[in-house]
Structure 1
Amino acid sequence: MAARWLDNRHLLGALFMLPAGALLLVFLAYPLGLGTWLGFTDTKIGRAGVWVGLDNFAFLAGDSIALLSLFNTIVYTLVASVLKFVLGLWLALLLNRHLPFKSFIRAIVLLPFIVPTALSAIAFWWLYDAQFSVLSWALTRLGLIDRYIDFLGDPWMARASTIAANVWRGVPFVAICLLAGLQTVPPSLHEAAAIDGANRWQQFRHVTLPLLTPIIAVVMTFSVLFTFTDFQLIYVLTRGGPLNATHLMATLSFQRAIPGGALGEGAALATAMIPFLLAAILFSYFGLQRRRWQQGGSDA
C-alpha cells in the first residue's frame, strides 16, 4: 500500500510540500490572520481587547497623520518604483553589451542590494547630516551652494532624500532581473529587424520590450511590494520625521502599535495596506496573462 502511494507523483509532491506549507502557515498565515483580527478590536498592550468592528478604520479615515502616511507611502512608492525601473532598465541594457570585466562590473552593481538595509540607512544618515554631510561639503567646495543643505530637516527634502536612498538600494535588483530577461531574447530577432530597416530604438520598442513585458510585470510587482512595505530604511533614517513627513503606513503602524501601545489601531493601519498590495499582485497576474496570450494561449 505504501509503495503504491509513493508511486503516485501527486501525493508524493504534496508530501514534499508539507514542510514548506507548515512554515508558511505558522509564520505567514497565522500572523496575517491575527493581525487582521486585532485590527477589528481595541486591544492594547497588556490588555485584551473587545470587538469594535470598523471603529479603528473609521478613526484612521479621519486621522490627519494616518492620511499623511498614506499620501507619503503612495508618493514614495510611485516615484521610487518609476526611478528604479528607468535606471534599472538603462543599467541592464548597458550591462548587456560586450564590456571589459563584465562579470566584475555585475558583481559591483549588486553591492547596494547586498548590503544590509540598516547599514545603508546609517551610511545615508551620515551623508545627509545637517552639519557633517559630505555631500554638502563637496557642493560647498565646488561653489554650487553657500551653506549646508538640511536634507532631513525640510519635509519635501526629507521625502526626496529617502526616495534617493531607496532607489540606490533597489536599482541593482531591477537591473539584474531585467538583464537576465534581456539575455533570453534571441539575437536573430534583432538581426531580422535590422535587415528590415529598424533602427536601435525601433528594435528595442518592437522586439525587446514586448518580450520583456512578463519579466517587467513580475520585477516591478516585487519592487512595488518591497517599496510599499519599506520599514527599515525609513525607521533608521528619519523615524518618520520631520513633522511626520516621511512616515509610511508601515512605520506609523509600528509606532502606534508598539511604542504607542494601541495594538488594534496599529493592526488596522497595517490591514489597510492589503488592498494596495493585492493591486500590485494583480498587476503581475495580468502581465503573465499577456505573456500566455502572446504564446497563443499555451500554458507552457
Structure 2
Amino acid sequence: MTDAAIARTTARPPAGEPSAWDQLKVNRNWLGFWFMVPAMAFLVLFLVYPLGKGLWMSFTDARIGREGRFVGLENFEWLLDDRDFIHALVFTLVFTFVASAVKFAIGLYLALLLNNNLPFKAFIRSVVLIPFIVPTVLSAVAFWWIFDTQFSVITWGLVKLGFIDRSSPINWMGDPFLTQCVVIFANIWRGIPFIAITLLAGLQTVSPSLYEAATLDGATKWQNFRYVTYPLLTPIIAVVMTFSVLFTFTDFQLIWAMTRGGPVNATHLMATLSYQRGILGGNLGEGAAIAISMVPFLLAAIMFSWFGLQRRKWQQGESND
C-alpha cells in the first residue's frame, strides 16, 4: 500500500511551471556552465588575479617592502631607453624564432621518420622523449659541463683531433655570441621531442588509403607530403607551434640555470631580466613592466594561430583550398 502511494506521488506531474532554479539545474547549457565553474575559479585565482596585480604594479614604483605610488607609463618610458631591456627584447625574439624554426624542422623530420615501419620503433620513440622528460635544471647542468671553458668535452675532443691547441680552449660560456648559440642549442635539444611526438600522433590519424590513391595517380613522395600530409597536418602544426613559441618565448629555467643572463647580460630573455630587476633588484614596478611587455608578443602568437585556423575552417571540416 505504501509502495503504491509512493509510485503515484512520483508519477504525478509537478504543480505549475518549474521554477527558474529548477530550469538551471536541468538545462544542458547551464549544467555545462556549472561544471566549468571550478576550472574558471582556478584560472581567476592563479592566472587572472596575478596578471591584474602585475599590470597594476607596472604602473607604480613599488619596491620590495612598500606598495609604491602610481607613476603611469613612467616604467615603460624608462624601459625604452634601457639598453639591457632592448637587448633582452631583441635576443628573446631571435631566440624564439631560431629555436622554434629548428625545432619544427627537426621535429617534423623525426615524426615522418618514426611514422614508417622501422625496427625497434617503440625503443626509438622512447629515446626521442628523453630530452623532454629530463628535468630542466639537470639538462642545464649537463650543457654547462659540456660547454665549460676549462672542462668542455667538446673542447677536449677537438684538442685530441688536433683542430685546436690545448693552450687556447674555446671560451664557450665566456664569449657572448657563443653563449647565445649554446643556450639556443640547449633549448632546441629540449623542445624537439614535444614537437616530434605531437606531430607523430597527428600523422597516425592520416588514412593510408589517401597515400595509396595519390600514389596510383602518380604522386611522388614530395607530392604526397605537399598535397596530402601537410594539409591534413596543418591544424596540429598550428597548435603545436603556438605552444612551442609560447614555451620558448617565456623560457626561464634553462637560461637562469645555465648563464643567469650572462656574460654581460648577453643571454637575458625578457623573463630572466624581469626576475633580475623585480625580485633580485627589488624594483617590483620595473620587473612587472618588463613582464607585462611580454604579453603583446604572446597574444600575437596566439592570435596568428587562431586566425589561421579560422581562415581554413578546419573546425567545420572544410578547406578554402
CA-CA distance at 1:205 after TM superposition:
1.2
Distance in structure 2 (CA, Å) of the matches to 1:98 and 1:3: 57
TM value normalised by structure 2: 0.89
Preserved contact between residue 213 and residue 291 of structure 1 (Cα < 8 Å): no
Q: Deviations over 1:115-139 (max 9, x none)?
A: 1111111111111111111121122
Q: Deviations over 1:155-206 (max 9, x none)?
A: 1101100000000000000000110111111111111111111111111111
Q: What residue number does 1:108 align with?
A: 127
Percent sequence identity is 63
| Greater radius of gyration (CA) | 2
Give the letter aligned to residue 286 of structure 1: F
Q: What residue number does 1:169 align with?
A: 190
Distance in structure 1 (CA, Å) of the matches to 2:295 and 2:39: 23
Distance in structure 2 (CA, Å) of the matches to 1:20 and 1:139: 54
Please tell me whether residue 11 in structure 1 is matched to residue 33 in structure 2. no
Distance in structure 2 (CA, Å) of the matches to 1:87 and 1:297: 27
Distance in structure 1 (CA, Å) of the matches to 2:29 and 2:162: 70
Alignment of 1:67-106 (within 5 A): 67-106=86-125
Report the number of matched residues. Answer: 298
Preserved contact between residue 213 and residue 287 of structure 1 (Cα < 8 Å): no
Q: Which blocks of at least 5 consecutive residues in structure 2 are unaligned? A: 1-18
Task: Say what the alpha-carbon RMSD is for the aligned residues.
Answer: 1.6
Please tell me whether residue 25 in structure 1 is matched to residue 47 in structure 2. no
Please tell me whether residue 231 in structure 1 is matched to residue 231 in structure 2. no
Please tell me whether residue 296 in structure 1 is matched to residue 296 in structure 2. no
Distance in structure 2 (CA, Å) of the matches to 1:103 and 1:191: 25
Distance in structure 2 (CA, Å) of the matches to 1:265 and 1:77: 23
Between stretches 81-90 and 138-147, larger displacement belongs to 138-147
CA-CA distance at 1:58 after TM superposition:
0.3
Q: What residue number does 2:7 align with?
A: none
Among 204, 211, 215, which residue is 1:183 paired with? 204
Please tell me whether residue 34 in structure 1 is matched to residue 53 in structure 2. yes
Give the letter aligned to residue 212 of structure 2: E
Between stretches 15-24 and 38-47, larger displacement belongs to 15-24
Q: What residue number does 1:256 align with?
A: 277
Q: Which runs of 4+ in 1 moved over 6 A?
A: none
Paired residue secondary structure (1:45):
coil
Distance in structure 1 (CA, Å) of the matches to 2:135 and 2:195: 17
Distance in structure 2 (CA, Å) of the matches to 1:144 and 1:97: 39
Give the letter aligned to residue 60 of structure 2: T
Give the letter aligned to residue 215 of structure 1: I
Give the letter aligned to residue 103 of structure 2: K
Q: What residue number does 2:63 align with?
A: 44
CA-CA distance at 1:140 after TM superposition:
1.8
Please tell me whether residue 277 in structure 1 is matched to residue 298 in structure 2. yes
Q: Deviations over 1:206-242 (max 9, x none)?
A: 1111111111111110000000000000001000001
Please tell me whether residue 158 in structure 1 is matched to residue 164 in structure 2. no
Distance in structure 2 (CA, Å) of the matches to 1:148 and 1:29: 49
Distance in structure 2 (CA, Å) of the matches to 1:297 and 1:205: 15
Distance in structure 1 (CA, Å) of the matches to 2:78 and 2:55: 16
